[in-house]
């Protein structure tokens, strides 16, 4: 049985104080909660103080990005070792905003996934098609390419450690969302692709979560689908009451 994972991606939002207060409220309510795995991804500036709040709680800390090198002359970047040092257990890799706004390519994402795994940080590996690709019926082609190139040369034993997040680009921050059935169709394809590439045991146990305007109204329907194992939540995770409702779907 796969434990559902609900992750909050705050993107470039919240000051340190706002992040800490949110984390404190979450810990107060979910300190004994084990029905879902809860992950929050504050901005870099708030990671360390939020980590202090989350100590001794079941809530996990994620970064929103990472570099593929351990250290070096990479002004403005953060290494996986630095994330481990402050208590991060997860890192979001390959989000569509990193791909489209900052030019990240599949091979960049592959290097980041490989390095994160080396440091025992769990990648939340994002994939998803643009609106043009969906209209052109290239959803599966895009998923196939992004997964195969993103996971290139990753050992089979490590694949189960990765969380795959299907986020159709056309549904991120737009208020639009794939129907539960549309999302399940792609999730099922991803799972079958992982089975074919890495074996049945890996494919059936890897967590595949959905992102793209997830909120309290649509989370229940999404989570009834057999191949959807959780959600990566953007805007609706910025308000503690909204995120609480999603966790308790």
DSSP string, 151-164: TTT--HHHHTTPEE
3-state secondary structure of 239: coil
Confidence of residue 176 (pLDDT cuts 50, 70, 90): confident
For the chain, the first-to-last Cα distance in angstroms comes to: 18
Residue 170 has pLDDT above 90, yes or no: no
And the tokens for 200?
A: 């049945």
Query: All domains of the chain, ordered by start, with CATH?
Result: 5-247 (3.20.20.70)
Taking residues 213-221, what's their average pLDDT? 95
Does position 187 have pLDDT exceeding 90, yes or no? yes
Give me the pLDDT at residue 177, please: 72
Q: The whole model's pTM is what?
A: 0.96
CB 214 within 8 A of CB 231: yes
Angle of helix 139-150 relative to helix 180-198, nearest 10 degrees, comes to: 40
SS3 state of residue 249: coil
60-63 and 37-41 strand pairing: parallel
Q: Are 11 and 234 in contact (CB under 8 A)?
A: yes
- Positions marked catalytic: 95, 167
The DSSP element (H or E) to which 211 belongs, if any, is: strand 207-211
pLDDT band for position 86 (50/70/90)?
Answer: very high
Identify the burial level of 69 via C-beta atoms within 10 angstroms of its C-beta, where 0-12 means exposed, 13-18 middle and 19 or more buried. middle
């Amino acid at each position: 049985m796969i434990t559902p994972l609900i992750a909050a991606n705050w993107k470039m939002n919240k000051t340190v104080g706002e992040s800490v207060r949110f984390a404190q409220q979450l810990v107060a309510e979910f300190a004994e909660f084990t029905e879902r795995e809860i992950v929050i991804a504050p901005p870099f500036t708030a990671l360390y103080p939020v980590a202090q709040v989350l100590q001794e709680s079941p809530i996990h800390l994620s970064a929103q990005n990472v570099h593929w090198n351990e250290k070096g002359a990479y002004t403005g970047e953060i290494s996986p070792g630095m994330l481990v040092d402050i208590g991060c257990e997860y890192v979001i890799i390959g989000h569509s905003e990193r791909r489209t706004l900052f030019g990240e390519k599949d091979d960049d994402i592959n290097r980041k996934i490989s390095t994160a795994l080396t440091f025992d940080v769990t990648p939340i590996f994002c994939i998803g098609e643009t609106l043009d690709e969906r209209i052109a019926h290239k959803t599966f082609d895009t998923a196939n390419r992004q997964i195969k190139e993103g996971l290139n040369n990753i050992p089979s034993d490590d694949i189960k450690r990765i969380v795959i997040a299907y986020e159709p680009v056309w549904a991120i921050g737009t208020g639009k969302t794939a129907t539960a059935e549309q999302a399940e169709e792609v999730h099922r394809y991803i799972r079958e692709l992982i089975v074919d590439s890495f074996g049945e045991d890996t494919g059936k146990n890897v967590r595949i979560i959905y992102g793209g305007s997830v909120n309290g109204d649509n989370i229940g329907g999404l989570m009834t689908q057999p191949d959807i194992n959780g959600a990566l939540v953007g805007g609706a995770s910025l308000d503690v009451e909204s995120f609480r409702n999603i966790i308790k779907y």
